[in-house]
């Protein structure tokens, strides 16, 4: 059996389990990013926790739009791949990577400028708002990184490989667990950054994991 066609050749329930279980684990690992930030920032006090809790609804609002792009690309690539049009699938993959990263730049810049206003509009208390702005602004500047990472993982999933995204996401979570205390509290020569360090640790973790996913992607056929 052609290993590219196993998704359409095996029983439906077996295929759903083989594809769905790693996807579920990958989604759960995404939540671990947030839990890790909350765990370490909780050591800074309740205001730090309140800041990230205030910021996430605004961040998820923007990320939701990017996720729609990834899902559209996943659907297109999977149709090409399933029908054996591998060259068209590769073209669509390249376009998805480029568009997701390119769109992430202006979206990140607009979000960076809009986050202080949005946090004020939704009524975030003034004593929490400065820290929330710092955390949200750094995340906004990282949207191109998120675009690169998630579009690469979507390409793997579209070709029936949901194990590799799970492994890459696990690596990102591990790196974030290691970098969070280093950047938040200042260790190994890194200055103390507080809440900014938590956001920066996540961006660096995703950047490393995203570059590795691209390297593995281009090594494949």
pLDDT of residue 2 exceeding 50, the answer is no
For 80, other C-beta atoms within 10 Å of its C-beta total 19
Residue 77: name the closest of 175, 7, 171 by CA. 7
- To which H or E segment does residue 113 belong? helix 86-121
For residues 50-74, average pLDDT: 75
The domain tally of the chain equals 1
Question: Within a domain: residue 68?
Answer: yes
Q: Are 195 and 131 in contact (CB under 8 A)?
A: yes
Condensed to tens digits (0 to 9), the pLDDT of residues 70-97 reads 677 777 777 787 777 788 888 888 888 8
Length of the chain: 221
Task: Give me the domain span that covers residue 178.
Answer: 30-219
Q: Find, among 124, 102, 147, 106, the residue nearest to 58 by Cα.
A: 124
Round to whole Å and give the CA distance between 68 and 139: 19
Can you give the pLDDT at residue 20?
67
User: Does residue 24 fall inside a structural domain?
Assistant: no
Q: Is 20 domain-assigned? A: no
Domain assignment present for 129: yes
Q: End-to-end CA distance of the chain: give it in Å, rounded.
A: 17
- Give the pair of three-digit tokens for residue 131: 């820290």
The CA distance from 95 to 87, in Å, is 13
- Domain for residue 15, yes or no? no
Any domain includes 193? yes
Query: Does residue 12 form part of some domain?
Result: no
Distance between CA atoms of residues 57 and 34, nearest Å:
12
pLDDT in tens, 109-147: 888 888 888 888 877 777 888 888 888 888 888 888 887
Side-chain-side CA neighbours of 105 within 13 Å: the count stands at: 5
Average pLDDT of the chain? 79
DSSP SS3 for 96 = helix
Structure tokens given for 22 = 């790693």
Q: For 98-110, what is each residue's pLDDT tens digit?
A: 887 788 788 888 8
- Does residue 200 lie in a domain region? yes
């Amino acid at each position: 059996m052609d290993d590219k066609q196993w998704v359409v050749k095996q029983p439906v329930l077996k295929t759903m389990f083989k594809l769905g279980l790693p996807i579920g684990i990958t989604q759960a690992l995404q939540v671990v990013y947030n839990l890790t930030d909350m765990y370490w920032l909780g050591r800074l006090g309740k205001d730090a926790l309140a800041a990230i809790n205030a910021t996430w609804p605004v961040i998820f609002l923007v990320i939701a739009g990017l996720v729609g792009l990834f899902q559209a690309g996943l659907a297109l690539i999977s149709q090409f791949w399933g029908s054996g049009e591998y060259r068209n699938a590769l073209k669509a993959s390249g376009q998805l990577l480029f568009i997701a990263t390119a769109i992430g730049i202006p979206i990140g810049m607009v979000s960076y400028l809009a986050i202080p206003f949005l946090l004020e509009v939704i009524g975030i208390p003034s004593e929490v708002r400065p820290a929330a702005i710092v955390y949200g602004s750094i995340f906004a500047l990282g949207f191109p990184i998120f675009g690169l990472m998630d579009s690469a993982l979507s390409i793997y999933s579209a070709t029936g490989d949901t194990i590799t995204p799970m492994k890459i996401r696990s690596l990102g979570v591990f790196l974030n667990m290691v970098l969070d205390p280093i950047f938040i509290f200042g260790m190994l020569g890194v200055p103390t950054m507080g809440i900014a360090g938590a956001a920066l640790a996540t961006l660096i973790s995703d950047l490393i994991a995203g570059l590795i996913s691209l390297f593995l992607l281009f090594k494949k056929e």
